[in-house]
Amino acid sequence: MSEGQHGAGEGQRGDEAMARAGVCRLLARVFSNKPSAELVEGLREARMLEVLASLGVDFDQGFISGDAAGEAESLGIEYTRLFVGPGEHIAPHESVFVRGQAESEPRLWGEATAAVAEFYREAGLEVDTAGEIPDHIGIELEAMAELAAAEAERHERGETAEAETLWGLQQRFAWEHLARWLPDFGRAVAEQAQSSFYRGMALLVGGLAELYEDE
């Protein structure tokens, strides 16, 4: 392989890693907090709508053309209903969806939580949980975004071996963790969501692990 070919390959792999980081950061934001008017406006930009459409996500006209502040307020109410309560809601934690080997049923702060925290340690990630449980969806996806961004940086430097190590860590976490619960989480959100925004984000997060398949 010539130097030019090598550089082109590294550049493409770096772009793919940055795209993964962007998707993970977006989903971490969506499922960690009520949406802001700024987030709504950003997602309605033509380029972003095009990217999301390529991933199978389409929003209705109300989201695309309505008042951003009003849409954010409405979605904030839905966020509370879906993920906070009061009443039954969808807990965005892996341990609520995944039963450990020694557990009769999934439980918050269970074996899955410990396994996620151990992965962070092994991967050398300094995860800021901000008082949250380590297996919260937002923390897991921010960790994946950090690994993907680091991979992209290594590709930019031409450090292929280091980049492949980081890619391997992402694949491991995707299949040992994300693939075990995000499809069920996404289906639960899609079933209970009233807006095209949360239905679309549910579709995206439910299929996220597919981004980590080898071509």
- Give the pLDDT confidence score for residue 85 in this predicted structure: 86
Q: At what angle do helices 160-173 and 3-30 cross, to 10 degrees?
A: 30
pLDDT at 105 over 60: yes
Architecture of domain 3-209: Orthogonal Bundle (1.10)
pTM > 0.95: yes or no: no
Amino acid identity of residue 38, one-letter, is: E
What's the mean per-residue pLDDT of the chain?
92
Q: CA separation (Å) from 157 to 11, 14, 153, 154?
A: 10, 10, 6, 5
Provide, rounded to the nearest whole percent, the portion of the chain with pLDDT above 70: 96
Spatial distance between the Cα atoms of 193 and 185, rounded to a whole number of angstroms: 12
Q: Where in the chain are the domains?
A: 3-209
Residue 215 is predicted with a pLDDT of 59
Worst-scoring range by mean pLDDT, 56-70, 102-116, 174-188? Answer: 102-116
